[in-house]
Amino acid sequence: MNLADRLPPPTTLKIGASAVEEDRELVRALESFERYLTYELHRSEATVRAYRSDLLDFFAFARRQGCSHLSHMDLDLLRSWLAGHYRRGAASSSMARRTSSLRSFFRWAQEEEILTIDPSARLATAKVDKRLPKVLKQEQIQSLLETLHRALQEQPRQPRLLRLLAVTELLYASGIRISELTGLNLESVDRQRLTLRVLGKGSKERVVPFGQPAMEALNSWVSLGRPQWLAPQGQGVQPALFIGPQGRRANPRQIRQDLSSLLATLEGTDFSGAHIFRHSTATHLVDGGADIRSVQELLGHSSLATTQVYTHVSLDRLAASYRQAHPRA
CA distance to 3, 56, 57, 119, 205, per residue, from 85 (Å): 37, 14, 11, 19, 36
Q: Active site includes 301?
A: yes
Exactly one of 177, 226, 279, 284 is catalytic; which is it? 177
Choose the catalytic residue: 51, 97, 279, 310: 310
177 as an active site residue: the answer is yes
From 49, 197, 201, 248, active-site residue: 201
- Active-site residue, from 160, 163, 278, 279: 278
Contact present, 44 and 202 (Cβ < 8 Å): yes
Q: Are 106 and 99 in contact (CB under 8 A)?
A: no
Distance of CA 75 to the CA centre of its chain: 31
Q: Where are the alpha helices (DSSP H) in 175-271?
A: 178-182, 212-220, 226-230, 252-263
d(CA 122, CA 127): 15
User: Active site includes 279?
Assistant: no
Candidate list 137, 253, 256, 275, residue with the active-site label: 275
Decide if 201 is catalytic. yes
Closest CA relative to residue 52, chosen from 90, 14, 78: 14
Confirm whether 172 is a catalytic residue.
no
- Name the residues annotated as catalytic: 177, 201, 275, 278, 301, 310
